Amino acid sequence: MKELTLPIDMGIIYMMIAVSLLLAIVFLVSFIWATKDGQFDDDYAPAVRILFDEETKQEKDKKQIDGNPEV
C-alpha cells in the first residue's frame, strides 16, 4: 500500500497559512480587548487639551463672587 504524503513545499504552505491565521486571530482578539477596555474612546481631546488655558479654582470662585454670569 502506497502512503500518501504531501510534498515538502506544500507542507510549508499549509503551515504558513495556519500560523498566519493564528496571528490574525491574536491581533483581532487584542483589538477587541483594547476597544472594550476604552483604548480608543477619545483620541482627539488629549492632543488639543494642552492648547487651552485652564482656569484655577480661585479664578472661578472670583467670577462667581463678582456676579459674572460666565462661569
pLDDT in tens, 15-33: 999 999 999 999 999 999 9
Question: Domain boundaries in the chain?
Answer: 8-66
Tell me, yes or no, if the pTM score tops 0.75: no
Enter the DSSP assignment of 68.
-
Length of the chain measured in residues: 71
pLDDT < 70 positions in the chain: 1-2, 4, 6-8, 55-61, 63-64, 66-71
HSE, CB side, 13 Å, CA atoms: give it for residue 39: 8
